């Protein structure tokens, strides 16, 4: 079992490839559909996911797709279940298994991610549906006094319990401790908080006997607050982020697959590129982007059947740009070349 977990984890961070996060909850994708004036029906959600999953050639750059509970049970128009459709293209199906962040008792302004109850049974079902990796997200707010140690350690404990159950089910756990970059904090403050979060996470993972070589980390990049008056540049983001990961992430972890958070699609690519340009590193530095891969796709598609190919071209392009960033070879000129191509 360990060998299969290790092989799957390594395949997810294969050279030049990254993960598409298509695991938006119904509420989240409704907001995204609202932005293009499209009603969020089950069929419209299915149609949009099929657009993504059937994009010609995107498997050159995408190793895996994180699905939502609704999506893993859906099929393409020809009747092929989405997990089978992806696997046939050499793309590994994954599944989001947490039930969202809820208010943490006795900790105003902080959250705890729920979903451990019944998780063993759900993982067994998801494995049967084709999932070979999973994701669990915890969130932490930065202020002058937050996050508290209570919030950091309770979420680390839950992430580790989830990861242990995944490995028991022969599913690779992606652990996602997201320090939210909203606010006016400095990049130094973001580094300090992210360090505390990662220290607690790997302490709990080791204590709960998780094989980190059969897992992946999905963290935030270390950024200035989005409302900060003097935000750090691309090189500083790369330096502070790498300093944090070198301090806390074991070399046995096969890969770090960054979330994009609230970054623009091009900023997420540029920051990933800068980190890889400073390599090589002990782990693969890859991406697990949702909005940063999908925003241009949604805009180009607009919910119109006539625009499916345009949406697929937009998705393919962003996947290709992030593939270039994995080697440190991305440059803004590549964006302009695509526009004129």
Q: Which residues are catalytic?
A: 176, 218
Which residue reads 């949406």 in tokens?
A: 311
Q: 321-337 as b/e, with b when 16 or more CB fall inside 10 Å?
A: bbbbbbebebeeeeeee
Which residue reads 């498997």 in tokens?
A: 59
> For residue 153, how many other CB atoms are within 10 A of its CB?
17
Burial of 159 by CB count in 10 Å (0-12 exposed, 13-18 middle, 19+ buried)? buried
Identify any residues that bridge with 94 across adjacent strands, giving them in sequence order. 66, 133
Give me 51's structure tokens. 């657009």
**CA separation for the pair 247, 142 (Å, rounded):** 20
Q: Can you tell me whether residue 101 is helix, strand or coil?
A: strand
Instruction: Report CA-CA distances (Å) from 309 to 52, 155, 182, 300.
Output: 10, 41, 34, 9
**CA separation for the pair 287, 137 (Å, rounded):** 15
Residues in contact with 104: Cβ distance below 8 Å, sequence separation at least 6, in sequence order = 110, 111, 112, 150, 151, 154
Give me 56's structure tokens. 């010609």
Secondary structure element (H or E) that encloses residue 111, with its range: strand 111-113
Burial of 14 by CB count in 10 Å (0-12 exposed, 13-18 middle, 19+ buried)? middle
Transcribe 47-81 into DSSP letters: HHHHHHHT-TTGGGTEEEEEEPHHHHT-B-TTS-B
């Amino acid at each position: 079992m360990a060998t299969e977990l290790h092989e799957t984890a390594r395949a997810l961070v294969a050279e030049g490839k990254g993960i598409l996060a298509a695991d938006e909850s119904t509420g989240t994708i409704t907001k995204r559909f609202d932005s293009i004036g499209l009603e969020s029906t089950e069929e419209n959600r299915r149609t949009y996911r099929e657009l993504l999953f059937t994009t010609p050639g995107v498997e050159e750059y995408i190793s895996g797709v994180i699905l939502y509970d609704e999506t893993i049970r859906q099929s393409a128009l020809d009747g092929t279940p989405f997990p089978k459709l992806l696997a046939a293209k050499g793309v590994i199906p994954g599944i989001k298994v947490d039930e969202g962040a809820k208010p943490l008792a006795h900790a105003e302004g902080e959250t705890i991610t729920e979903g451990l109850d019944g998780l063993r049974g759900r993982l067994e079902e998801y494995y049967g549906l084709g999932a070979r990796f999973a994701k669990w997200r915890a969130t932490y707010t930065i202020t002058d006094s937050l996050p508290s140690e209570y919030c950091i350690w309770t979420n680390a404990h839950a992430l580790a319990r989830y990861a242990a159950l995944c490995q028991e089910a022969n599913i690779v756990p992606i652990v996602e401790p997201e320090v939210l970059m909203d606010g006016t904090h400095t990049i130094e403050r973001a580094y300090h908080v992210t360090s505390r979060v990662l220290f607690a996470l790997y302490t709990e993972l080791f204590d709960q006997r998780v094989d980190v070589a059969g897992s992946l980390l999905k963290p935030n990049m270390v950024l200035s607050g989005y409302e900060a008056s003097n935000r750090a540049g691309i090189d500083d983001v790369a330096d502070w982020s790498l300093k944090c990961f070198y301090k806390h992430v074991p070399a046995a972890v096969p890969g770090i697959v960054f979330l994009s958070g609230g970054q623009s699609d091009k900023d997420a690519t540029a920051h990933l590129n800068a980190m890889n340009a400073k390599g090589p590193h002990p782990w693969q530095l890859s991406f697990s982007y949702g909005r940063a891969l999908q925003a241009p796709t949604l805009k180009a598609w607009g919910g119109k059947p006539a625009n499916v190919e345009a949406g697929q071209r937009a998705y393919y392009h962003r996947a290709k740009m992030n593939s270039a960033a994995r080697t440190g070879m991305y440059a803004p000129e590549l964006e302009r070349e695509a526009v004129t191509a």
